[in-house]
Structure 1
Amino acid sequence: MARRVFLHVGTAKSGTSFLQDLWWRHSDELRGRGLLLPGRRRDHFAAAAVVKGMTAVVETLADHERDAWHRLVEETRAWPGDVLLTNEHFSDSPAEAAAAALADLAGAADEVHVVLTARDLGRVLPSAWQQRVKMGARQPYRRFLATVRRSEGDQKFWRYHDVPAILTLWSAGLAEGRTHLVVVPPAGAPRDELWLRTASVLGLDVTGLDTEARRPNDSLGLVEAEVLRRINERVPRPRRTPALTRHVKGTFVPEVLAGSAHREPFVLPARHHAWVHERSAATVAALSTRAYDVVGDLDDLLPAPPREGRTPDDATDDELLAAARTVASRLGLAPVGTLDEALAAVAEHLLAGQRGTSAQ
């Protein structure tokens, strides 16, 4: 029986990749310090997919991956110290699935804790749109922001980023003091501050552990992101497979697309600042009335003042053509004349090669 199990459920785009990279890089050392990350990193993703019922993903999993949640729970039960499970897909789980997962963990540890990391919406929105584009989305940035603002459609965005709702979901039945909200520090804070804040929640001594990034930064500039979105438009929806998405995220973006244009970051347009600030202020007000363990300042969930800059919608055809030609050249494709030709050639290359992709 574990002493404590910590379930880190998100939110997406709140430094989760940074934290997970460090946790897994130092997993052997952390085990020696009393914290177990059971299984492998892929197992935590598979477990989240199974728990929340991601049918399309679960259908692609190997048999042993479909058993990932059960295996992680059993490893937790067999460990005498503390355990950490982490994947942002847990956040978007049906209420009955969350309750069942917490019950499983309660049978494997003396204490069950839930950890949520959260970042201000002003920084989350551009990052979330870019992530969606890497997953195959076709929606322009301006339409994405309008849709989120009006709460249209299935609102996948809010299911992953409505902090009060996610905490309500995952704190049900937990003892007071066992639901932890770690606020991502504002821009300009020391890079390791989020790492130190989560370590304090875990009761973990991280002295001497390297926090330098080892994985390449696959964040795209506004031109590169818009090129990818337009490539997505040329991929027929029936041919957008999980294998293709893995290839795009894991290989095409970091090795081919990144660096094809100047990495110009894009901003939240000033016209959206008022509603983002209003929504964020309501979030802070709601959280301030609840008995969660908050690490950091809730006011850091308020967006910074708007800043000047462009968005992917402002990219010119000349900029897009230059980047698309660079991508085509890196792929060894024949020279192309127009932007449409370049985008179509790259899309066809990706489709032709997806059969050779494998699970990451």
Structure 2
Amino acid sequence: METDCTTPAPLPPGTRLLHIGPHKTGTTAIQGALFAAKDRLTECGVEFPAHTRHPMEAALVACARPAMMGDAVPTDRHWRRLLDQVAATGGRTSVISSEFFADARGDATIARIVEQFGGAGVPPLDRGRERDRAHVLVTLRPLVRIMPSQWQQYVQNGLRMGYADWLEHMLRRPPYEKPNPSFWHRHRHDRLVERWARAVGPGRVTVVVVDDRDRGGLLRTFEALLGLPENLLRPVPDTANRSLTLAETEMLRNLNVEFRGNGLPDELYSRLVRGGAVLHMKNACPPAPGDVKIVTPRWAVERAAEIGAASAERIAALGVRILGDPALLSAVPAQPEPRPAEPRLAPEVAAQALYGALAAAAGQASVRSVHQTSSRELVRVLGHRCLKRLGRR
């Protein structure tokens, strides 16, 4: 094992870096920064071979994972297209990031992903050597910070269980697989690292322990590993990916109860609720200072810290490279547990959510930030706007 809290040395030139998350560990920030700096990366000898910020569909196909509730089912062409883009980078360093790679189940699936990713575009006779170019990067945060974020994300995908009950099932009711079996597959971090280390070897796995006190630390780590100039990667604001407040989550959770209880189709949920009401509410209504946050009870905090400590100890024994302080994974917040407060949804927030659903029903495009849109689509939209202006003149 190598534990390093200093600036890491760059990975060898020609490395294909696969960032697998897992969820809620800074993946969106990394993806946004890499995509926004895509052209400058190329100037520095590094490629970001994807047309969008997050090649989620490709990762879902590679991991044989179902799509989000109600979304269109991705096909093999999504994964093949990404592999073609990786192959086009030739011998240059490249980087791909998707937290959904952490959902890959079984050694055979992970080995296939690594072989196809590392050997994309390489003649079959050379793949035994060339696939060694693949290097796996895992970013980790303390479970105590992940659990509330992951719960509200599950609610955005149709979960109807409240936070207290969800914690009971995740932490106190073996086999800890209901209602979300994906949670511990992603967030038993020692087992996640071990699975991927078996596929590529411990020497080609880097674990980054994210320090939330250092807001730019993760971006600087990626720059160092990729051999990029300092401060080339910049934070990209993404209101569409912010976490919901407790009131917003409870509003959505109660809607999920009604939605499921009345047997409405999943496609309607994807289009009107997640892609309409929730997305527009996130973009139009940033959280206010007085909004009630999702509070994790003390017993769950302490249990999560115990699991984090066991995971950190196991990861240290795997022989992988560790950047950052593993002790953060078992840290218990010093502040006293706040008293539960009654979540109240502001009328303007409810209005924006309702408008988002109506706009989606009317066929209006979902709101997306620029860095989430492909370059081809941006050119098409800008060209259409220019033509409209010329027509008015």
Scaled to the shorter chain, the TM-score interval is 0.7 to 0.9
For 1:58 and 1:140, how far apart are their aligned partners in 2?
19
Pair 303,249 (structure 1): closer, same or farther in 2 beyond 3 Å = farther
The answer for the alignment partner of 1:230 in structure 2 is: 254
Q: Which residue of 326, 329, 350 corresponds with 2:357? A: 350
What's the secondary structure of 2:149's corresponding residue? helix
State the one-letter code of the partner of 1:205.
Answer: L
1:46 aligns with 2:57: yes
State the one-letter code of the partner of 2:83.
Answer: V
The answer for the alignment partner of 1:167 in structure 2 is: 193
Q: Which residue of 187, 196, 218 corresponds with 2:242? A: 218
Q: Which residue of 78, 81, 86 corresponds with 2:88? A: 78
The answer for the alignment partner of 1:101 in structure 2 is: 113
The answer for the alignment partner of 2:371 in structure 1 is: none
The answer for the alignment partner of 2:306 in structure 1 is: 278
1:206 aligns with 2:229: yes
Report the Cα offset of residue 287 of structure 1.
Answer: 0.9
State the one-letter code of the partner of 2:151.
Answer: W
Pair 144,254 (structure 1): closer, same or farther in 2 beyond 3 Å = farther
What's the secondary structure of 2:96's corresponding residue? strand
Report the Cα offset of residue 302 of structure 1.
Answer: 1.1
State the one-letter code of the partner of 1:272.
Answer: A
For 1:251 and 1:230, how far apart are their aligned partners in 2?
18
For 1:41 and 1:169, how far apart are their aligned partners in 2?
28
The answer for the alignment partner of 1:88 in structure 2 is: 99
Report the Cα offset of residue 161 of structure 1.
Answer: 1.1
Paired residues of 1:13 and 1:127 also in contact (CA < 8 A) = yes
Paired residues of 2:21 and 2:99 also in contact (CA < 8 A) = yes
Cα shift readout 1:208-228 (whole Å, capped 9, x = no counterpart): 425244323733332233223
State the one-letter code of the partner of 1:172.
Answer: R
For 2:83 and 2:187, how far apart are their aligned partners in 1?
26
1:30 aligns with 2:21: no
For 1:260 and 1:118, how far apart are their aligned partners in 2?
28
Cα shift readout 1:268-305 (whole Å, capped 9, x = no counterpart): 21122231121111101111111101111111111323
Pair 324,233 (structure 1): closer, same or farther in 2 beyond 3 Å = farther
Q: Which residue of 179, 193, 196 corresponds with 2:217? A: 193
Provide structure 1 residue ranges, at least 5 long, that are not aligned to the other structure: 332-345
State the one-letter code of the partner of 1:7.
Answer: L
For 2:209 and 2:289, how far apart are their aligned partners in 1?
33
Q: Which residue of 152, 160, 163 corresponds with 2:177? A: 152
Provide structure 2 residue ranges, at least 5 long, that are not aligned to the other structure: 1-12, 121-129, 369-393
Pair 62,289 (structure 1): closer, same or farther in 2 beyond 3 Å = closer
For 1:354 and 1:303, how far apart are their aligned partners in 2?
45
Report the Cα offset of residue 46 of structure 1.
Answer: 1.1
Cα shift readout 1:38-89 (whole Å, capped 9, x = no counterpart): 12226611111111123445995588x6412212222222322111111001
* Percent of residue pairs bearing the same amino acid type: 25
Q: CA RMSD in A?
A: 2.9
Deviates more, 1:124-133 or 1:36-45: 36-45
Q: Which residue of 184, 205, 213 corresponds with 1:179? A: 205
Paired residues of 1:270 and 1:306 also in contact (CA < 8 A) = no
For 1:274 and 1:99, how far apart are their aligned partners in 2?
35
For 1:58 and 1:230, how far apart are their aligned partners in 2?
17
1:294 aligns with 2:339: no
1:131 aligns with 2:141: no
For 1:328 and 1:122, how far apart are their aligned partners in 2?
29
Report 1 or 2 for greater relative contact order, CA contacts < 8 Å, sequence distance ≥ 6. 2
For 1:83 and 1:58, how far apart are their aligned partners in 2?
31
What's the secondary structure of 2:144's corresponding residue? helix
Report the Cα offset of residue 266 of structure 1.
Answer: 3.0
Report the Cα offset of residue 94 of structure 1.
Answer: 1.8
Paired residues of 2:142 and 2:330 also in contact (CA < 8 A) = yes
Report the Cα offset of residue 144 of structure 1.
Answer: 1.2
Matched pairs, number: 333
For 1:88 and 1:328, how far apart are their aligned partners in 2?
30
For 1:227 and 1:72, how far apart are their aligned partners in 2?
37
For 1:240 and 1:196, how far apart are their aligned partners in 2?
40
Pair 107,218 (structure 1): closer, same or farther in 2 beyond 3 Å = closer
What's the secondary structure of 1:235's corresponding residue? helix
Pair 213,182 (structure 1): closer, same or farther in 2 beyond 3 Å = same
Paired residues of 2:305 and 2:330 also in contact (CA < 8 A) = yes
State the one-letter code of the partner of 1:146.
Answer: E
Pair 265,54 (structure 1): closer, same or farther in 2 beyond 3 Å = same
